[in-house]
């Protein structure tokens, strides 16, 4: 039977059903994948890493190019948590938009310039912002500002025409914590520029965050003013098991990072001479 012989209503029903089947076929394999993390955040690897969606109704990647190059892979449990939190935010923070940043390689390992992000459990989220009219807008990220990482907010949370929306930031962290707990995982640590913590804790979700989420109290090796770094808590296999397995199999991916895929080179004005023992993103 051809399209010409179908009624308009029948055509629409057929097209809708076909689209649903296509979405199911595309999404099911990714959801079925169970990742395995090895080692630690700063000395780890990832097996069966999954890529975060490029965008959704209220969120987007910091760079479609970076996503294509493979810089936005995470552990499957982290994917579930991140997507569930964004879905919940559609109801609890309607009209607000969010941007996520770097995560890691599909197989983990060092992803420069980050010190962590090695086993699929670290995610950078750019701060939600309002423009001069008070409207929620994505933080502008492009090659001109090293994909957002070279943006500098002042102590009041302002950059040019943008102001950090601490209430939306707190709501996002709350939804991440709730989604993580529901899936049997957790948030190990959040890194945000320390001067911003009082503003965050003054929001309606502030008291919950103080009681339930661990924040880095000292300064990290770079200011986390334009983004907040979240480490998720998932049980991982010792890194020695990964090396033992790798020694008996042919690596599926090249571990060295090609120069064309290296991350944003953080400018010297953003770097602080702080102790290397401090856990940071």
Decide if 210 is inside a domain.
yes
Decide if 1 is inside a domain.
no
Decide if 79 is inside a domain.
yes
User: What does the chain come to in residues?
Assistant: 281
Q: Per-residue b/e over 5-21, b at no fewer than 16 CB within 10 Å?
A: eeeeeeeeeeeeeeeee
The 8-class DSSP code of residue 246 comes to H
Decide if 11 is inside a domain.
no
CATH no. for residue 141? 3.30.1380.10
Per-residue pLDDT in tens (0 to 9) along the chain, 281 residues: 333 333 444 433 433 343 333 333 333 444 567 999 999 988 999 999 999 999 999 999 999 999 999 999 999 999 999 999 999 999 999 999 999 999 999 989 898 888 889 899 999 999 999 999 999 999 999 888 888 888 899 999 999 999 999 999 999 999 999 999 999 999 999 999 999 999 999 999 999 999 999 999 877 777 798 899 999 999 999 989 888 887 776 544 333 333 334 455 444 334 332 233 334 46
pLDDT in the model for residue 33: 79
Decide if 80 is inside a domain.
yes
Decide if 19 is inside a domain.
no
In angstroms, the CA 28 to CA 118 distance is: 26
pTM, whole model, 2 decimals?
0.77
In angstroms, the CA 229 to CA 173 distance is: 11
In angstroms, the CA 70 to CA 88 distance is: 26
In angstroms, the CA 214 to CA 177 distance is: 11
- Which residues, at least 6 apart from 85, have a Cβ–Cβ distance to it below 8 Å? 172, 175, 176, 178, 179
- Give the C-alpha distances (Å, rounded to integers) separating 141 from 61, 148, 180, 206, 265: 9, 4, 27, 28, 14
The structural domain count of the chain equals 1
Neighbours of 252 (CB within 10 A): 9
Domain hosting 228: range is: 35-270
Decide if 30 is inside a domain.
no
pLDDT in the model for residue 178: 98
pLDDT in the model for residue 243: 87
Q: For the residues of 68-92, what is the DSSP string, one character each? A: HTT--EE-HHHHHHHHHHHHHHHHH
Decide if 280 is inside a domain.
no
Tokens standing for residue 91: 């109801």
């Amino acid at each position: 039977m051809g399209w010409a012989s179908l009624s308009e209503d029948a055509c629409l029903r057929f097209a809708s059903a076909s689209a649903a089947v296509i979405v199911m076929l595309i999404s099911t394999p990714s959801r079925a994948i169970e990742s395995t993390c090895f080692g630690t955040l700063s000395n780890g690897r990832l097996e069966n890493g999954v890529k975060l969606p490029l965008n959704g109704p209220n969120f987007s990647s910091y760079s479609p190019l970076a996503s294509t190059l493979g810089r936005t892979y995470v552990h499957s449990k982290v994917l579930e948590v991140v997507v569930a939190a964004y879905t919940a935010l559609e109801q609890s923070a309607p009209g607000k938009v969010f941007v996520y940043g770097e995560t890691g390689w599909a197989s983990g390992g060092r992803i420069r310039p980050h010190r962590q992000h090695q086993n699929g459990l670290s995610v950078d989220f750019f701060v939600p912002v309002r423009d001069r009219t008070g409207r929620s807008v994505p933080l502008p990220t492009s090659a001109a500002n090293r994909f957002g990482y070279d943006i500098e907010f002042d102590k009041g949370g302002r950059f040019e025409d943008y102001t950090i929306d601490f209430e939306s930031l707190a709501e996002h962290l709350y939804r991440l914590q709730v989604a993580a707990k529901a899936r049997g995982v957790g948030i190990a640590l959040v890194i945000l520029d320390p001067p911003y913590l009082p503003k965050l804790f003054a929001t309606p979700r502030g008291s919950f965050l103080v009681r339930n989420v661990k924040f880095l109290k000292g300064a990290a090796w770079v200011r986390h003013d334009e983004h907040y770094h979240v480490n998720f808590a998932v049980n991982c296999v010792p890194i020695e098991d990964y090396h033992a397995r790798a020694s008996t199999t042919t690596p599926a991916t090249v571990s060295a990072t090609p120069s064309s895929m290296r991350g944003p080179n953080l400018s010297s004005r953003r770097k602080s001479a702080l102790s290397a023992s401090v856990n940071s993103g």
